[in-house]
A and B are shown apart, each in its own frame.
Chain A
Amino acid sequence: MNLTNTTIIAAGLTLLTGAASAQTPVLTVYTYDSFNSEWGPGPGVEFAFEELCACDLQFTSTGDGAALLARLRLEGARSDADIVLGLDTNLMTAAVEAGLMAEHGVTPEGLTLPIAWNNPHFLPFDWGYFAFVHRADMDDVPGSFEELAASDASIVIQDPRSSTPGLGLLMWVQNAYGDEAAAIWEGLADNIVTVTPGWSEAYGLFLEGEADMVLSYTTSPAYHLIAEEDDSYDAALFSEGHYMQIEVGGILQTADTPALAQQFMEFMVSPAFQNVIPETNWMYPAALPAEDLPEGFETLMQPSAALIFTPEDAASARDEALAIWQNALSQ
């Protein structure tokens, strides 16, 4: 950690505000943009943790998960970051191989993921299933990638090179179809209206009526239902199962208060953190029993199978999946 600069900045801030105490330890959490927005989990998480820790929790945010990892690699050993929050299982191996991660040393209890979790570097904080979201009045909702490819339903997807949902879709097709992934993508090519840089643009296009379906999450209809009292959105159930995105947090090698960082990791899988997730990040909390979910979540579609690559398999499948995708859609 860069002590001099932090001290100078902290001293400056202290002089300015006269309020902050120089003795309060600071925990710096790097996360993605929407986590730390006014409507994201950030403010609730900060409030709840500062009640516990007698510390100052500070968020630094950047783009999405991929940008977050690039930022940490750029800063390397000189980073101020103590915690990274918001990578997913597809990015975990890269983070560990870059030598960024320390072991968290926490044995989490009460995880409610559909799969077992046992990773020394990362703990999950929320998860969701990728799914194609559509309007409830859509006719002939496709029930699999093959049906989607054969139909004339139009879809908007995200670019895997610039967004984590886009990458998740590649992994979904790769996981479900393996060697036949190329054929699936060739079949999907004429359904794809366009490919957007990120989730926001894609979902916006869908809401504007530019496509019948958009790649999002099975939990997206919960937002419309709970926050907008609008039950006219559904997620399509695919018979091959749905790929999961598990969002994780971990302690960085650069953490200068490891004990505080470890306290945060324990807090991350505790109810105080987990309760914030459903109605701010609109994902499933990683350690909260189903009966504690807000009303409305019970209406969500439940996939028949949860698909996911191990972090190692995801890392090795990535380049090939991207090449298949590029080839199939460049024709």
Chain B
Amino acid sequence: MAKRAQPITLTQMIGGAFVVLVILTILGPLGAVIYRAEGFSGLRAADWAAVRFTLLQAVLSALVSCLAAIPVARALARRRFRGRGAYISLMGAPFILPVIVAVMGLLAIFGRAGWLNAALEAIGAGTIEIYGLTGVVLAHVFLNLPLATRLLLQAWLAVPAERIRLAHSLNFTASDMRRHFEGPLLRATLPGAALVIFLICTTSFAVALILGGGPSATTVELAIYQAFQFDFDLGRAALLGVIQVAICVGAGAIAWRFASAANFGGGLDRPAMHWPGDSPLARLLDRAALVTAGVFLLLPLAAVTGQGIGAISGLPPSTWEAALRSILLALASTALAVTLALPIALLIAGKASRAGLEGVGLLSIAVSPLVVGTGLFILIFPVADPVALSLPITGLVNALVALPFLLRALIPAAVQAEATQGRLADALGMGGMARLRHAILPRLRRPLGFGAGLAAAFSMGDLGVIALFSAQGQETLPLEMYRLFGSYRTNDAQGAAVLLMALSLGMFWMFDRGGRVNAAS
């Protein structure tokens, strides 16, 4: 056999196997729905309206989230202040909240009976209306601004301190910094961040429904729901699922066309230092960005907390059991997500042409949870009882949902690590575990912690698949919260929402702390 230029390593083989596995786990269920439906059935005019609205709101949400994130990420990268670590962790909270909790918080501020309208009324100004396209975009920005900020912040922090020292010694001005560092860094990161947020927003269901105001704000996900639950038209549900995937692939292709790799070379991992070209105006703008984002993101959380904190001590035992179940589920699903993501990220990082492989990770955001859940049900039902497996299935789907976020965070870091440490490791003949442990993993700590935190928090807040499969005594905390709402126990439900928020945030903080070491210093 001819000798390859580069030997296939064990990590790459595992990575490749996992890629195939992930594709099968995502597309298999979609295929199962198509197979069971015995082909596609046609779309209605209303379905096309849903596709149009979905694209419109997702594009707007992605643009606004990313543009608003630039000044915030920049300020966080350039400033050191007391409580910066807490600020970074806390402002991540909306992204990991269950949608209904986030919406509760937003309504307490921006709703018809919210603080903002009360204040506007008190000073005699007109009231603002949160429902409609504005409300959908507002909520999506609330949920996704933290993610955009963190993704951009990672990019800023990836600039080696040595480079900044060099910029200092060359007396770089603010505009030099923009041209040589921030411009390339944003060009490399923004398309990816915008794509991820666009994809998250395409599958929006509850936000679009609650704040959309009516049938004109129908999303593809609701159309899938209707095709499945209302008409039991699996063929239409499957076709809409395929359209959702097509939107993802199309968006992915566009985003990669605009993405270019930023390469700032290697460094010795010294902590970040003061950014050149600082001025009083820059300090003022940074402060304004941090305060505005902080108020926008934290006030709704404070409102939710205020509503529900009193009810926590009186929560029924079943809620605490559901909370424990959710914690265990989140840990298992995080472990699975990390196990899947690491070899795939290393495999992708080692390839010259990455776009196709990276698309794998994005698939799982774009596929409708309802279609995946239904497909898994169809696949599992003949061989086992899906209800008895409801928690493992939920864990698996949660891990898949988190995978794209882990990959987005890990791949650039892995590419960077290979670029900077790979040759040295090669020269030293380091391969396999030793290379991974000494050269690569230390550089993946921050994104790995961040990604694992997201995975855990997502899993805590997820109310997708469990609702399809749930059985007696297997409720997760979000499902329990919905049941409390459904039984008129609004106060208990608000208490459960605070508990859920605290646990999601706690999970995120626990994992992210490991990776945040540099970011917080």
On A, residues with C-beta under 8 Å from B are: 2, 5-6, 9, 33-34, 36-40, 58-63, 66-67, 69-71, 73-75, 78, 80, 94, 98, 154, 159, 161-162, 189, 192-201, 203-205, 207-211, 220, 223-224, 227, 282, 325-326, 329-331
Contact = CB atoms under 8 A, between A and B. Distances in A.
A11 B206 CA distance: 40
Interface hub of A6, A193, A200 (most chain B Cβ within 10 A): A200
A161 B205 contact: no
20 contacts: A33-B467, A33-B479, A34-B487, A38-B316, A40-B487, A73-B232, A74-B381, A80-B385, A159-B222, A162-B230, A192-B213, A200-B486, A201-B209, A205-B107, A208-B113, A209-B111, A209-B112, A220-B488, A227-B488, A330-B215
A200 B98 CA distance: 15
B216 A193 contact: no
B222 A162 contact: yes
A61 B213 contact: no
B472 A195 contact: no
A9 B483 CA distance: 27
Contacts of A209: 111-113
Contacts of A71: 468
Report the 3 A-B pairs with minimum CB-CB distance, sorted nearest first: A209-B113, A200-B485, A34-B486
Contacts of B209: 159, 162, 195-197, 201
Contacts of A159: 209, 215, 222
B450 interface: no
A224 B388 CA distance: 37
Interface in B456-501: 467-472, 479, 482-490, 493
A149 to B, nearest CB: 15
B229 interface: yes
Interface string B98-131: 0010001001100111000000000000000001
B377 A74 contact: yes
A330 B216 contact: yes
Interface hub of B205, B471, B479 (most chain A Cβ within 10 A): B471
A192 B113 contact: no
Interface residues of B, number: 55
B287 to A, nearest CB: 33
Contacts of A199: 486
B229 A63 contact: yes
Nearest to B481: A200
Interface in B364-405: 374, 377-378, 381-382, 384-385, 387-388
A284 B458 CA distance: 39
A326 B215 contact: yes
Contacts of B104: 204, 208
Contacts, number: 154
Contact of A161 (B225, B232, B472, B490): B225
Interface of B: 46, 49, 100, 104, 107-108, 111-113, 131, 205-206, 209-216, 222, 225-226, 228-230, 232, 316, 318, 374, 377-378, 381-382, 384-385, 387-388, 467-472, 479, 482-490, 493
Contacts of B482: 33, 200
B490 A33 contact: no
Contact of B470 (A62, A66, A80, A203): A62
Interface hub of A36, A80, A194, A329 (most chain B Cβ within 10 A): A194
Given A5-B384, A75-B381, A162 B487 contact: no
B467 to A, nearest CB: 6
Contacts of B385: 2, 5-6, 9, 80
Contact of B222 (A60, A69, A161): A161
Contacts of A224: 488
A192 B472 contact: no
Given A197-B205, A207-B490, A162 B225 contact: yes
Given A199-B486, A208-B107, A282-B488, A193 B112 contact: yes
A317 B230 CA distance: 14
B113 A210 contact: yes
Given A39-B489, A75-B381, A78-B382, A33 B226 contact: no
A38 B318 contact: yes
Nearest to A39: B487
Nearest to B103: A201
B500 to A, nearest CB: 15
A203 B228 contact: no
Given A58-B472, A62-B470, A67-B468, 13 more contacts: A33-B482, A37-B484, A59-B472, A69-B229, A74-B374, A74-B377, A154-B112, A159-B209, A159-B215, A162-B226, A189-B214, A195-B213, A201-B206
A201 B387 CA distance: 26
Contacts of B486: 33-34, 37, 198-200
Interface hub of B49, B479, B485 (most chain A Cβ within 10 A): B485
A270 B124 CA distance: 60
Given A66-B230, A200-B482, A208 B384 contact: no
A248 to B, nearest CB: 18
B111 A210 contact: yes
Contacts of B213: 192-195
B469 to A, nearest CB: 8
Given A38-B316, A192-B214, A161 B206 contact: no
Nearest to A167: B230
B472 to A, nearest CB: 5
Contacts of B382: 78
B112 A204 contact: no
B107 A329 contact: no
A196 B210 contact: yes
Contact of A193 (B108, B131, B205, B387): B131
A67 B384 CA distance: 21
A203 B485 contact: yes
Contacts of A325: 215
